[in-house]
Amino acid sequence: MINRRHFLGAMSMPAAAALNGVFLSPSRIERALAVAGELAAHPGTASEVVEDEYFWAQVRQAFSAEAGIINLNSGGVSPSPIVVQEAMKRYLDYSNTSPTYAMWQILEPQREQVRERLAREWDTDPEEVALVRNASEGLQICQFGLDLKPGDEIVTTTQDYGRMVTTWQQRERREGLVLHQIKIPVPAEDDEQIVRLFEAAITPRTRVIHMCHMINLTGQILPVAKVVNMARRHDISVIVDGAHTLAHFDFKISDLECDYYATSLHKWLFAPHGTGLLYVRRDKIAGLWPMMAAPEKMDDDIRKYEEIGTHPAANYLGIGDALTFHQGIGSERKTARLIYLRDTWANRLQGFSDRVWLNTSQKPGRAAGIANVHVEGIDTTALNSWLWSRHKIITVAINHAEFTGLRISPSVFTTLEELDRFCEAIEHAISHGIPA
């Protein structure tokens, strides 16, 4: 676990020495650094701190959370801790002193340190990690970059992210590819069943399996490594949508053994908005075209996927500060807390009424901080709107062809009192209904 001295050192460099007179807000950054440093110094294990409300109150103090709003949609985009916000402003201010020098020659090279740290944290080769703007961009690089012929088939599910389904459908219309979407159980609790469902959809023309690591609609974790192992036997590539997984629950990219993996870092890593990671297995890089052209000499270089023209250095360097904050909390402690928060509200509501059930498994390893809850007899969209208009509680209404429910995704800054208020509101709606 990272210690306090290393934590504070990482938070204050590398850019601080380069900023030459760009000043911060001293009280704000000192408060945030002090809080974050205490988290890094805390010796408690995941089981020891999961219910330590003093520890998690300190975590909340590291964020600039809006006190009047209960944010239960961290799965959409998360706020960044104050130290990350301040770092990004610092990098941006310095970039604007003389951009062609300060941004391109001083800050941009530090992107390599961020790449190396991400690779170390999630156990992969830095030369397999590209820094992109979000999971969608990373996945579309894979979807558009693969050489496929008319009649080639792709297998995904009916629960995959809409933007990614739309991307394949465009290639269907434009190039004559064939997309097959399979149905999987809700919730999904049998790994072997999931593997069988994917394998049953494979034909001699199947070239790609596109699957979620964690389904955005429900928070359900799918057995990626087992599907990859099956796909290898059929010589089929696997693209993994990891938009909600990195820094959400404890795992390594190397565990998955997949060909391609993309995630958004502005969700659970709390990195600056508009940052993501694309992993491409080393032997797959040369055969995957970038979305924006790169010179031939970069054919084998992971950085060809970053060739997008002029772009800010600040956002990407801020990833490093977010990673340091994540390490200060500790991956195992963070995972345990997110599961604890989920079970706190989910168990209470399911115990309150048999009209409440989850579209997400609570079994170990099947989900983490995100869960989808259905309340029988109440329209999901209306309930979502009422929670906001009456209680200023942010949730997401999911109206899928196969299920409906509210997606609830608290985070490490969420308090038990906020979850109590959420539960009280749902219990009131169950007992008394909501205004039409």
Q: What are phi and psi of 402, to 5 degrees?
A: -105, -10
Q: Which two tokens stand for residue 33?
A: 């650094």
Confidence of residue 65 (pLDDT cuts 50, 70, 90): confident
The counts of H helices and E strands in the chain are 16, 13
Q: Is it the case that residue 19 has pLDDT exceeding 50?
A: no
Q: Is it the case that residue 46 has pLDDT exceeding 90?
A: no
Percent of the chain clearing pLDDT 90 (strictly above)? 88
Measure the CA–CA gap between 245 and 353, rounded to whole angstroms: 31
pLDDT score, position 31? 54
pLDDT score, position 36? 58
Rounded to the nearest integer, the mean pLDDT of the chain is 92
- Alpha-helix residue ranges (DSSP H) falling in 3-44: 4-12, 26-41
**Average pLDDT over every residue of 238-245:** 98
pLDDT score, position 276? 98
Within the chain, all domains assigned CATH 3.40.640.10 are found at 110-321
**Per-residue pLDDT tens digits for 293-350:** 999 999 999 999 999 999 999 999 999 999 999 999 999 999 999 999 999 999 999 9
Q: Is it the case that residue 34 has pLDDT exceeding 90?
A: no
Mapped onto helix, strand or coil, the DSSP state of residue 355 is coil
pLDDT score, position 190? 97
The amino acid present at 348, given as its one-letter code, is R
**Three-state secondary structure readout of 204-262:** CCEEEEEEECECCCCCCECCHHHHHHHHHHCCCEEEEECCCCCCCCCCCHHHHCCCEEE
What is 110-321's CATH topology?
Aspartate Aminotransferase; domain 2 (3.40.640)
The amino acid present at 323, given as its one-letter code, is L
Confidence of residue 435 (pLDDT cuts 50, 70, 90): confident
**Per-residue pLDDT tens digits for 257-270:** 999 999 999 999 99
pLDDT score, position 62? 95
Which residues contact residue 219 at a Cβ distance below 8 angstroms, ignoring those fewer than 6 apart?
A: 75, 244, 360, 367, 368, 369, 370, 371, 372, 407, 409
Please give the full DSSP string across 267-292, using - where no structure is assigned.
Answer: TSS-PPSS-EEEEE-GGGSTTS--SS
The CATH class of 333-432 is alpha beta
Q: Is it the case that residue 25 has pLDDT exceeding 60?
A: no
**Per-residue pLDDT tens digits for 168-217:** 999 999 999 999 999 999 999 999 999 999 999 999 999 999 999 999 99
Q: Is it the case that residue 32 has pLDDT exceeding 90?
A: no
pTM: predicted TM-score of the whole model, two decimal places: 0.90
The amino acid present at 75, given as its one-letter code, is G
Within the chain, all domains assigned CATH 3.90.1150.10 are found at 333-432
pLDDT score, position 151? 98
Q: Is it the case that residue 6 has pLDDT exceeding 50?
A: no
**Average pLDDT over every residue of 107-111:** 96
